[in-house]
A = this chain, B = another copy of it.
Amino acid sequence: MKAENLRRTRTNVRANVRNVPGPCAHWNDEDADFIREVLDLVGDKWSVLIIGTLADKPVRYSDLADAIPGISQRMLTLTLKHLQRTGLVTRTSYPEVPPRVEYALTELGTSLLSTVLALAAWSADNHAEIRRHQTEYDRAGTVRRTV
């Protein structure tokens, strides 16, 4: 189990501490793991784009590649497998020549889509304000660039 490198350092102190303050009022440590699992899935570079593309109909592999700007073959395949494993999409291959494979959202995938749409709406709503903050923050950092 390679527990040998649990040497206590200044970082990551809390692992060895009893009686810690709860991390957050909205979830416990275990919940935090779950949400991070979902965020790792959803926060990756392509998953959300794929889910969005599959939103209302099954799409075949090459059509996905065409529909999603900039995705590489490798990442398309990898992400689809990942989504499949999580139970968000299904893969159906039709024994024809030439071969045809269609990917579709499962019910689970659809339910996640609607949740993600809330985030998309937030993004659209607050995009301008975020930009404002960013440029202001960056401008403040440029003061006295003495070099």
Q: Is A36 an interface residue (CB 8 A)?
A: yes
Q: Is A101 an interface residue (CB 8 A)?
A: no
Copy number of this protein in the oligomer? 2
Q: Is A95 an interface residue (CB 8 A)?
A: no
Check A39/B35 contact, CB under 8 A, given A14-B70, A23-B69: no
Q: Is A79 an interface residue (CB 8 A)?
A: no
A27 touching B120, Cβ below 8 Å = yes
Check A11/B72 contact, CB under 8 A, given A26-B55, A52-B23: yes
B27 touching A52, Cβ below 8 Å = yes
Interface string of A2-45 (1 = CB under 8 A from B): 00000000111111010011111111010110111111101111
Q: How many A residues, CB 8 Å from partner? A: 71
Q: Is A118 an interface residue (CB 8 A)?
A: yes
| Of the residues B29, B108, B129, contact of A126 by C-beta under 8 Å | B108
With a CB–CB cut-off of 8 A, which chain B residues contact A34?
A: 120, 123-124, 127
With a CB–CB cut-off of 8 A, which chain B residues contact A137?
A: 84-85, 87
With a CB–CB cut-off of 8 A, which chain B residues contact A130?
A: 37, 86-87, 108
Check A26/B84 contact, CB under 8 A, given A14-B66, A39-B43, A48-B36: no
With a CB–CB cut-off of 8 A, which chain B residues contact A129?
A: 87, 108
Q: Is A122 an interface residue (CB 8 A)?
A: yes
Bound CA–CA A38/B124 (angstroms)? 10
